Amino acid sequence: MHTGLHFCALFPPEEPQKFANVHKIFGASNVTKLLNELLPHQREDAVNSLAYEAEARVRDPVYGCISAISFLQRQVERLQKELDAANADLIRFACNGIQAAGLQPPPAAPQALASTHMVPTQPRPVGGWGGRFYQTPSFPIIPYSSSMPWNDNYNPHGGGVDGSI
Amino acid sequence: MNSSRCAACKHLRRRCPSDCIFSPYFPANNPRRFAYVHKIYGASNVGKILQDLPVSRRAEAADSLYYEAYCRIKDPVYGCVGLITILHQQIYDAQCQLARIQAEIAALSSQSQSEVQQYRQDENVGPSFLPDQNGVPNSTSYYDISTWFD
């Protein structure tokens, strides 16, 4: 049962591939059901994100969007290591300056952020030396570093990941 | 009927043939996994995607479909695209943070070098390891500065 769902507004005729991809990957009835569960003002964003995922899946039928997520997670991890190293350098400079003035060095700075092994649903800034960085995760079932097959722990006979949330 | 139906065939209430496309990737002990992909993609779409892939790639595809379906169920508006946005933001924030810290280090480094120079002028201290304006050391006697960076 439709609740004011207008596909023509969400899938404009000048973007035929958008609907074609979404229909191919998700199916029109699934998309209708998904969109019907949303408020009207949310539907355009939902359609755009579905179209993005569908296109990613058409281009890469094995990984879809996951390739991009993996790549970005590796970048985040690399930057975290660089931040840790830079923070350590900064502490050394600060300590050297304070010691030269005959004062006590500051207490050890809090660690830079926890690793981004899992992917957040909502960013939650955490404090600490070197400022703010989003803490992960709230995806308990698919940690990036653990049970996906492109990581070492994948077991193809174990159903991949526990279905608990 | 196959007494050990896969999660897909149990969900779809049908017999599970020996060549079931779903059974290697949707085992019976994980019913939620198939339920999620079925809700988002539909069983026939998942079957088509898997069928079009070589057998060696199907496990990875099933996992990634499950991951994306899970993301979409948790966030019905943005799905895993929301995650991509968050990661981009994290990268941007980290780069800004890194630039700030590196600027602070550079400022502290140049400040400490000028303080040492000032100290030497004030105290009429002997040879300096610091180079002159032409980058040439003022003396062949070098002080050990390695401790500065311990």
Q: What is the pLDDT of residue A68?
A: 94
Q: Which residues of B53-64 are buried (b: 16+ CB within 10 A; e: fewer)?
A: beeeebbbbbbb
Kindly report, residue by residue over B77-111, the tens digit of the pLDDT.
999 999 999 999 999 999 999 999 999 988 888 87
User: Could you give the CA distance from residue B136 to residue B126 in angstroms, rounded to a whole number?
Assistant: 16
Residues of chain A with pLDDT under 50: 1-2, 110-165
Quickly count helices (H) and strands (E) in chain B: 5, 0
pLDDT value at B22 more than 50? yes
Of A152, A150, A138, A153, nearest in space to A67 by CA = A150
Probe site for chain B from A65, A83, A99 (most B CB atoms < 10 A): A65
Q: What is the pLDDT of residue B145?
A: 40
What is the band of B148 on the pLDDT scale with cuts at 50, 70, 90? very low
**ipTM for the whole complex:** 0.71
Kindly report, residue by residue over A41-89, the tens digit of the pLDDT.
999 999 999 999 999 999 999 999 999 999 999 999 999 999 999 999 8
Interface of A with B in 71-130 (CB under 8 A): 72-73, 75-76, 79-80, 82-83, 86-87, 89-90, 92-94, 96-97, 100, 116, 119-121, 123, 130
**What DSSP string runs through B67-98?**
HHHHHHHH-TTTHHHHHHHHHHHHHHHHHHHH
| Dihedral, B134, B138, B144, B145 alpha carbons, nearest 10 | -40
Q: What is the pLDDT of residue B62?
A: 97
| Dihedral, B73, B53, A23, A141 alpha carbons, nearest 10 | 0
User: Could you give the CA distance from residue B4 to residue A27 in angstroms, rounded to a whole number?
Assistant: 29
Q: What is the pLDDT of residue B51?
A: 96
Neighbours of A106 (CB within 10 A): 11
The pTM for the full model equals 0.66
Main-chain phi, psi angles of A113, to 5 degrees: -60, 160
